[in-house]
Structure 1
């Protein structure tokens, strides 16, 4: 039996849901199904509410049976079966074109658009959906969504049009070491360790690791066990297997990985060699930055001044902890910010911070050391660094 928008409008009027002012164009999203060979179920939307019409001569007003048929189209449907308004008894069925029909209205509470999307697609975080909404990738009832806080219901037609992932297969990074367990690369300054969000459209270390790992392929950070700031260059290690991931991650979290950095700073640290033991906390006036904070997290850095020239010094840094921006904040505290630090100092052609050496256990019983050669910009300012075999 073919059911049209005209038919559905007539049914709604029979149940006193629609009136003479309503038109067939007020009905859309019509979907037909056959829960059983002997019946027909029509799902549709009217005035932003979802309805079901069951055409079934065998239902005989049995509520459980009627709901079983509706559940075949939507297993979590909840709402109300309309009573027959023409009967003095409590009945549900109405005759229509020689068949018994039943009308069910789906009831759904309004909720935020980002919350609904996160429930429908739990593999994608709510914050990611917020970014998709902001970028115009989500529309509601044919109109681009304006806000993640927009209230919607299950009856709204929500379309998701996500951008295609960029192909970075032609992008390369310098590989320092590769075996069955780990990959080690020399990250250039300016390259992100991993994407900051779903819509980050630039090549990252994680994109490169994706070709070599089986870990975290469903995320935006496959193989990543630690990170370097975008503007920091140098050694970064990735895991190729779940076992290596757990081993490496544990060492970084327990400060068992030994890291050595080289930096060029503005001025000369005093004293020339020392251990900085100053807790670090987030800066409330600039939440993306950090500052010395007696109530912050413990942070220790050992440093040694290697050379000084033209109000610049090159120093070796051995962080004992791994706080975000730790080296940059500690050196700023000494009034010798890292040269080119546009956040904690002054801009230059680059941030002169390089992750030079990493000592870590790559598999049980195997401790290895990886070195990333100093960038040419460092050698240009301090040529003697080129003659140092192992800083």
Structure 2
């Protein structure tokens, strides 16, 4: 099904493409240009150019056509399965693996591996991410819960929505803290200047991250983060926002950082109620080898 939006401009808002990219998170200015060309965007019932200056009172209709599902092919890729039964799988995703196919990553993903492992994965509305109820970034390692049927999907998604599950992350970050713990409550949305990045923005979605300082070293700290919400790049954006970007983060951190394979961020603990039995399940996995090696080096440098 296509996504449809109707927006009333409350003020004179400048170019049409910039206005829509700021208002609708799934749109970039390039995508707006494509939709305008195909007449999927109308202003007061008429097709306009992307350079059209939005006026107060304009009614803008947007229809984003449904994306044609990708053909997802099972691939024999080894999986580190921590737990599995008839309803759920808990997998320890390695750093460097994309969770599901998307533009630029059509294969070699966790979903490709899961489809080879089992035919029992919950359907997804998009078709290209069966079983997936939440994600972690390509270069973030750690635990994910996978739904094997619709009952499990509904239960796990409900727990995410109502914040009753448990997700704890380990991160090596730049700088030292004066406090032992804290909370970052700052809305996250698409970065206005770089569409590949997210950022703390005034009209973003509510986002809350709690953190606890575990160890401090020369120029770096080891912290634990607890997610209250699950926005794209949330931990990475929030920690950069408070001046403690995740070490190795190519998007939100400095160039001079710890050598590795991307950000030093690991989904260490995952807890949830079993979707069928109601039993509380909780799992914990160690960070990858390179994370442990850099941590050992930092401890020695103290």
TM-score (norm 1): 0.54
What's the CA shift for 1:315? 0.3
- 1:241–1:334 CA distance, 2 compared to 1 (3 A): same
What's the CA shift for 1:202? 2.7
Match of 1:172 among 65, 70, 78: 78
The corresponding residue for 1:187 is: 93
CA contact (8 A) 1:290 1:325 kept: yes
The corresponding residue for 1:216 is: 123
In structure 2, C-alpha distance between the alignment counterparts of 1:167 and 1:256, rounded to whole Å: 32
What's the CA shift for 1:240? 0.9
What's the CA shift for 1:242? 1.4
1:204 correspondence with 2:117? no
- 1:201–1:280 CA distance, 2 compared to 1 (3 A): closer
- 1:250–1:299 CA distance, 2 compared to 1 (3 A): same
In structure 1, C-alpha distance between the alignment counterparts of 2:73 and 2:122, rounded to whole Å: 20
- 1:166–1:182 CA distance, 2 compared to 1 (3 A): closer
CA contact (8 A) 1:209 1:238 kept: no
- 1:267–1:385 CA distance, 2 compared to 1 (3 A): closer
The corresponding residue for 2:194 is: 286
Q: Unaligned stretches of 5+ in structure 2?
A: 1-36, 39-64
1:311 correspondence with 2:223? no
CA contact (8 A) 1:303 1:317 kept: yes
Match of 1:359 among 250, 271, 274: 271
Match of 1:372 among 285, 294, 297: 285
Q: Unaligned stretches of 5+ in structure 1?
A: 1-110, 113-124, 133-163, 387-391
Post-superposition CA distance 1:30-84 (Å, at most 9, x none):
xxxxxxxxxxxxxxxxxxxxxxxxxxxxxxxxxxxxxxxxxxxxxxxxxxxxxxx
TM-score (norm 2): 0.69
What's the CA shift for 1:249? 1.2
Post-superposition CA distance 1:322-349 (Å, at most 9, x none):
1111111111012110001000013542
- 1:294–1:254 CA distance, 2 compared to 1 (3 A): same
Deviation beyond 4 Å, 4+ runs, structure 1: 164-167
Post-superposition CA distance 1:337-382 (Å, at most 9, x none):
0001000013542210000001101224211001122212222122
What's the CA shift for 1:272? 3.4
> What does 1:81-160 correspond to in 2, within 5 Å?
127-128=67-68
CA contact (8 A) 2:141 2:287 kept: no
1:349 correspondence with 2:260? yes
Match of 2:294 among 363, 366, 381: 381
The corresponding residue for 2:152 is: 244
> What does 1:217-232 correspond to in 2, within 5 Å?
219-232=127-140
What's the CA shift for 1:177? 0.5
